[in-house]
Chains A and B, each alone.
Chain A
Amino acid sequence: MAEVTEAVRAARTATGERRGGPQRWLPYLLLAPSVAYLLIFFASPMIQAFGLAFTSTTGGWGLESVRAMFGDDRFWPAVWTTLILLVVLLPLQFALALAMSMVITSRLRASGFWLYVFLLPLGVSELGAGILWYSIFVEQGWLNTVLQSLGLIDRPVIWLDYREPWRVIGTIVVAEAWRSTSLIVIILVGGLRAIPRDYLEAADVFHAGPWQRMRHVVLPMMRPTIRTALIVRTVLAFEVFATVVALGGTATDVLATQANRAYTEYQDAHLASAYGLVILLVSLVAVGIILVALPTRKERGQ
């Protein structure tokens, strides 16, 4: 026995574990590339954006760009549309994604096939999705053609009529739900597969119905996964851009389209950065709310 302990000690010494040699630095070394990546590609542009947002076109420090942003007639409509899209899309996509991931992880026939079908939109770029849905909703588009051939409408409906903002937002919701639900599906499928069989079998033993199983076993077990998915989806919701441009044109604004327009069309990097900051702040607040609303077991002190 003593020999074995001695051998282990010798091995540990050899690998430098106790002396704090190279082993001690190894984790930092391994982390270094990603830290450098984050610093160069995330932190430094973010700091530059702060600088740009609080300087004016003439170069001096000040709140000129921030004031210009708040003074823009399009600012508040853009904030509201962004929030409306988030509030409508988030529960809708979660319900859809949960149903889709249940289908994929079920032991039904062809459940693997559905994985491919559900994940297909991931391969389409945001702009591609915008153009695709534009060709569906436009006056001479596929939707009107189908509805007319079925005799449901007499003449084409102008779905993308900016005077009916809810209709336009509806088309954006459909396009976005189609495009980005699959991302949540991937995360949820991972969470579902990680639930140990024993728990589900235990639920069966106690004659739990499908709803009880979902409510008391699946959803609690998925809490960390759902939290991750919510955060990812929320952050992405603030960046929604191409589908809004394609379907809403210049009459429907969200924060990201405003930031883009400020930079590309008005050639004002300062104003664009001010919008970028607002997107960052709103995202941080939303993520904070999610973190507080859905604490993990450890955070709840259990």
Chain B
Amino acid sequence: MRLSRRQVLRLGLGAAASGLLAGCALDTTGAPGSQGSEGLVFYSTQLATTEEAEAVRRQILAGFGRQVQFVSDSSASKMFDRVRADARAGSSSIGLLGALQGEFATLAKEALLRDMTDVVEQLGDRGFTRQYLDLARVDGRYAFVPWISASYIMAARREALPFLPAGADLQRLTYTQLLDWTRAIQQATGAPRFGLPAGEKGLLKRFLQGYAYPSFTGGVNTTFASADAVGMWEWVRAVWGTANPQSVTYGFMQEPLLSGEVWVAWDHAVRLVDALETRPDDVVSFPAPTGPKGLGYLPVLGGLSIPRAVADPQPSIDLIRHLTDPARVSTTLRTVAWFPPQDLATIPGGLPPGVGQEAETLQRMVGTPGAVASSLAVGLGGQSGAYDKVFTDAFRAIVLDGGDIGGTLATQAVALQGVLDTAKAACWAPDPVGEGVCRVG
């Protein structure tokens, strides 16, 4: 049979189109709400990228006796809506929840979670770090079982190291030295090579809330518009002048680090690990810098918990046991590069080079004299988005649009107080923890 040119083309296009459609069809497996006819639903706001979700399905859940459906969606508001709807319906479509400490705090305040104290006690042999166990408690009871942890660190390409200012120690940089360094790189290469994840999916807001503010002002909300804060914003504006302007499109800093568009970057450890794993000889990680008020940093803790509406919690408890098992913890570290909430020395099989480097950096950062751990905003509930908006709006007005720092902070301080008032949120670390609604300073 002879095929005409047109027929061949049509066949080719048809094949391509069916491939595309098949791809689309496959993609729906992770869609929230897609519930199998049976099996335990493990819903997580973490490990939500395609690669992470695949690692969970194929490797981390492997070996668990029952069928588990892993559904991940990074939107906390969707997760809240679903758990609330289940509670109203009186039966839970979700067997196990994976989420961040702050997200669980919101659910626990609404009494939507089972008391997990008995499970944490059963898992005494797991050796969870005391610091993380403390974070997992809400009103004296465990709201969740610690599961994964991380923090934000810095990374640089080796070609940036010769431009370090004289006398600067990469492992103990100050904010001033970091600025001098990125300026020196810009002068020498003629290109801005610092990078911050200021894109749509980027976590720049966490840099402002957990790193810059605590390091420069010793607080966040109570020092929001203080004189120290003005100094901090001047630093941010100056360092932004040495940043690749494409930073407004960056979500994960590992890609621009690998491509060389950025030589020095700050980001979530998980969002840098590919650069360290792919090019361990060319990329180095180091702690966040120290400011006038210490080294502010933001530990991130993810946990596992069971919605109160679950009728039979035993399968979910079995799954928690499986996920916190040392072998599974090792797999989690290896595949998705989240650290376990226990001492790394207890993890069997050693660490891959990039992950190992990050772990060392993290330990060094936490151990730096004057390290100030912030907690993620707690008790904001539905206002957490509005809270973040205050910081991104201030960044945009001051840094991108070149607005007046004092004036912008005064305007945004009003918005921030409005958010805290609506949420009736008390201050959290590094602000002095106290009773009553937090007052913006």
Chain B residue nearest to A253 in the complex (CB)? B396
* With A162-B248, A249-B248, A264-B75: A123-B400 Cβ-Cβ less than 8 Å: no
Report the number of A-B residue pairs with Cβ-Cβ less than 8 Å.
85
A140 touches B260 (CB 8 A): yes
Of the listed stretches B13-21, B314-322, B337-345, B365-373, name the one at the interface; the rest are far from the partner chain: B13-21
B388 at the binding interface (Cβ < 8 Å): yes
Q: Which residues of A in the span 130-165 have a Cβ within 8 Å of any Cβ on B?
A: 134, 138-140, 155, 158, 160-163
Chain A residue nearest to B17 in the complex (CB)? A123
Chain A residues within 8 Å of B51, by CB:
none
B397 at the binding interface (Cβ < 8 Å): yes
Of the listed stretches A1-9, A78-86, A208-216, A265-273, name the one at the interface; the rest are far from the partner chain: A265-273
* With A116-B9, A267-B382, A268-B385: A73-B245 Cβ-Cβ less than 8 Å: no
How many B residues, CB 8 Å from partner?
39
A73 touches B397 (CB 8 A): yes
State which of A57, A74, A250, A265 has its C-beta within 8 Å of the C-beta of B248. Answer: A250
Chain A residues within 8 Å of B401, by CB:
73
Chain A residues within 8 Å of B248, by CB:
162, 248-251
A266 touches B386 (CB 8 A): yes
B388 touches A265 (CB 8 A): yes
Chain A residues within 8 Å of B393, by CB:
73
* With A249-B198, A250-B199, A268-B386: A140-B259 Cβ-Cβ less than 8 Å: yes
A12 to B395, CA, bound (A): 75
B9 touches A266 (CB 8 A): no
A49 at the binding interface (Cβ < 8 Å): no
B385 touches A250 (CB 8 A): no
Smallest beta-carbon distance A256→chain B, Å: 13
A246 at the binding interface (Cβ < 8 Å): yes
Q: Which residues of A in the span 54-101 have a Cβ within 8 Å of any Cβ on B?
A: 57-58, 73-74
A123 to B18, CA, bound (A): 11
A250 to B397, CA, bound (A): 12
Contact with B along A236-274 (1 / 0, CB 8 A): 000000000111111100000000010011111000000
Chain A residues within 8 Å of B200, by CB:
245, 249-250, 261
Which secondary structure dominates where chain A touches chain B?
Answer: loop
B386 touches A251 (CB 8 A): no
B245 touches A158 (CB 8 A): yes
A21 at the binding interface (Cβ < 8 Å): no
Chain B residues within 8 Å of A57, by CB:
382, 422
Smallest beta-carbon distance B329→chain A, Å: 31
Contact with B along A29-58 (1 / 0, CB 8 A): 000000000000000000000000000011
Chain A residue nearest to B411 in the complex (CB)? A73
Smallest beta-carbon distance B113→chain A, Å: 20
Chain A residues within 8 Å of B82, by CB:
none
A112 at the binding interface (Cβ < 8 Å): yes
Chain A residues within 8 Å of B20, by CB:
123
Q: With a 10 A CB-CB cut-off, give which of A247, A248, A264, A267 has the most chain B CB atoms.
A: A267
A163 touches B249 (CB 8 A): no
Contact with A along B9-41 (1 / 0, CB 8 A): 100010011001000000000000000000000
B396 touches A73 (CB 8 A): yes
Chain A residue nearest to B408 in the complex (CB)? A73
Smallest beta-carbon distance A53→chain B, Å: 17
Smallest beta-carbon distance A100→chain B, Å: 17
Chain B residues within 8 Å of A161, by CB:
245-246
State which of B9, B249, B384 has its C-beta within 8 Å of the C-beta of A249. Answer: B249
Chain A residues within 8 Å of B382, by CB:
57, 267
A164 to B75, CA, bound (A): 32
A113 to B244, CA, bound (A): 42
Chain B residues within 8 Å of A158, by CB:
244-246
Q: With a 10 A CB-CB cut-off, give which of A57, A140, A248 has the most chain B CB atoms.
A: A140
A266 to B384, CA, bound (A): 7
Q: Which residues of B in the span 231-273 have a Cβ within 8 Å of any Cβ on A?
A: 244-250, 259-261
B124 at the binding interface (Cβ < 8 Å): no
Chain B residues within 8 Å of A248, by CB:
248-249
B2 at the binding interface (Cβ < 8 Å): no
Chain B residue nearest to A247 in the complex (CB)? B249
Smallest beta-carbon distance A250→chain B, Å: 5
B58 at the binding interface (Cβ < 8 Å): no
B6 at the binding interface (Cβ < 8 Å): yes
A140 touches B261 (CB 8 A): yes
B114 at the binding interface (Cβ < 8 Å): no
Contact with B along A270-281 (1 / 0, CB 8 A): 000000000000
B434 at the binding interface (Cβ < 8 Å): no
Q: What are 24 A-B contacts with C-beta separation under 8 Å?
A: A57-B422, A58-B422, A113-B6, A123-B16, A139-B261, A140-B259, A140-B260, A155-B191, A160-B246, A161-B245, A162-B248, A249-B250, A250-B199, A250-B200, A250-B202, A250-B249, A251-B400, A261-B200, A265-B385, A265-B389, A266-B385, A267-B77, A267-B384, A267-B385
Q: Which residues of B contact A (CB under 8 A)?
A: 5-6, 9, 13, 16-17, 20, 75-77, 190-191, 198-200, 202, 244-250, 259-261, 382, 384-386, 388-389, 392-393, 396-397, 400-401, 422
Known: A123-B17, A160-B245. 11 other contacts (CB 8 A): A57-B382, A73-B396, A112-B6, A134-B249, A158-B244, A249-B199, A250-B200, A250-B202, A250-B248, A261-B200, A267-B382
